[in-house]
Structure 1
Amino acid sequence: MTFLPGLTLNERYYTEIVGPLMKEYDPSLCYSASLIGYGSDVLGYDNATSMDHNWGPRMQIFVGKADVGRIESIKAYLCAHLPGEFMGFSTHFSEKGPDGTQKMQVHPSGEVNHLIDVFEIDGFFTEFLHKDASQLTHLDWLCIPEQRLVELTSGRVFHDGLGRLNEMRSALRYYPREVKLVKLAAYWECVSNEEAFVGRAVEFGDLVGLKLLAARMVNTMLKICFVLRETYVPYSKWFSRAFDELQLPEIKALAEALLSENEAPKIETLVSELYMAVLALQNASAGVPRVERVITNYYNRPYKVIGAGKIVSALRAAITDEQLKAIDLTLVGLDTKLDSSDFTNGDVLGRLLRD
């Protein structure tokens, strides 16, 4: 098998195979079809390595509430009528393994164990979000793990007969402005809490501690860039690749220089330059308050800081929702702050915040 990007493969799979079969099943059935959710193929980041599990001819079909009773019938029809392979790729998959994954297998004969999931559209989104997508409050947005929003808004819609799938994805494209301001404030609060530690590590000649702190600042600064570009932060495997798509070459160059630098004073200087570059981007962004860009010493100590507290204050002052204005910033964006796939790929923190 020669690798073909999953989005390309599955758009053709829908157009040439699945779409015609759905028409044969019931020409009057109103449904939508897409490839969204989990997977590197959904993000367009797949390669030949990705083909070893949960990859191949696959997609989701969505029906409305009136057709919930036909879901099993649709699945069975596809099992009975799908070809065993498409463009050289098996449409037949193994049963789920202990880790929950499935793999393409040679189709022996008979029914195809396909990887086409069929859902009622509202139930699918509600299960992902734990709330009706049309009724999200500002606080609800903050309880949704960002990776889930990545998955719902990435990928491709092949057919939207329901006329709702594109609309629902568009509504989730990015946070409302006030939630965006809170996310920015929470990241700058992280900077405020630790920005003086960089200079302190320089003073003590603690290169390991300094590099760890600097790397953490890089991580936070890049996440601020995601917010400013109104792009959800994916989990760690795809973080850097997704950042490249923001097309911020100056900031990327500073991050690369900082992470490769081994001279303590130069690291501190580069951290300051990164602060200034990101704040310049923020000041140039619509709907975000401008803040003076200046590097100063931390009190009377010779530690270079940007005074992130003043940035946090300006962002908070621009928020009109009283609940958001008063929110504890340490609780905002915990999934992306903690940088652990234990939290970014599940709903552990979402459950805690909702409770």
Structure 2
Amino acid sequence: MGMFPVTRTTQPKQKPADDALAFGKVLTDHMFLMNYEEGRGWHSPRIEPYGPLSLDPATSVLHYGQAIFDGLKAFRGEDGRIRLFRADRHAQRFNRSAQIMCMPELPVDIIRQSFDALVGLEHDWVPRKPGTALYIRPTIIATDVMLGVHPAHSYLYFLILSPVGTYYKEGVKPVRILASDSHVRAVKGGTGEAKTAANYAASLAGQRDAEAAGYTQVLYLDGVHRQYLDEVGTMNIMLRIGDEVITPPLAGTILDGVTRNSALTLMRDWGLRVTERPITIEEVMQAGRDGTLREMWGTGTAAVVSPVGTLGYRGEDVTINGGQTGELTQRLYDTITGIQYGRSNDPHGWTSLVPAEQG
């Protein structure tokens, strides 16, 4: 841990009980910061007490939206040790977002060291109850002070942590989703595959309208034809028609989900027929009508998998698997969480141990 200067808080917070944890409401005592200036590169890595950032009103991120983030989790296993899940892949995707948003990349080893250093320092904040975790949020924002539309010359990397409860309080529960042909999340050539703040702002109206219509989430269709499945809410979408598992391909409009990649890898390990191809909402609805749509689920860091019990489109609802969680969906959930908590073997080496801070 000696790599980064650490200023410890003099006012540690009261840690909430594991049972009281929600998602993202409580932040830990410290944060990791690092600055970038053109010509100097990334510099001054440090850990400081968690607190407000001071930004000039003309700071470019506030006007032109040059902001990226990622999200992963640290898990406390039954052996008491703390594991990160696929931290390298998250760090690489963070850099992919930086490329798309004209921002400087951070060396993957520095990103990884920041994760280990901050989580190691805050190891007491990793909750102990099964299903809980410590959420890790790396972020970069543009910090030039001037009004002018161009990539900034200075940036701030910061890393914050939040203990989170189980996503499903009563076990994995299927949700109702609405396929929208009025709202679009992304188009090819845009920012769809970056984890940038603007993509989430763009999703709010679709989410609001889906909720107003009695659904939990919105399923986006492609922005050109309004026919092909894109993403659901903040998750990637997968479905099982007959004996084939289908998910939309990575073609520039959807995020290269880490849980998506993990699920595809596992299902191929299991010998299932897995296809990444464009699929239309009409094909899915028809499969729902004739009973060949056996399962449908979203994948993402927060929930791992989110089964779809009902799919709505243009005033018609189809029920999937009797509104119950499907066997493959459940198997993916059990297998991925088993690896994350160190309960089952990790054949692909997806987890890494965090060295707990000594002293």
The normalised TM-score by structure 1 is 0.27
Q: Point out the structure with the larger helix share.
A: 1
Q: Which has the larger radius of gyration?
A: 1
Q: Point out the structure with the larger strand share.
A: 2
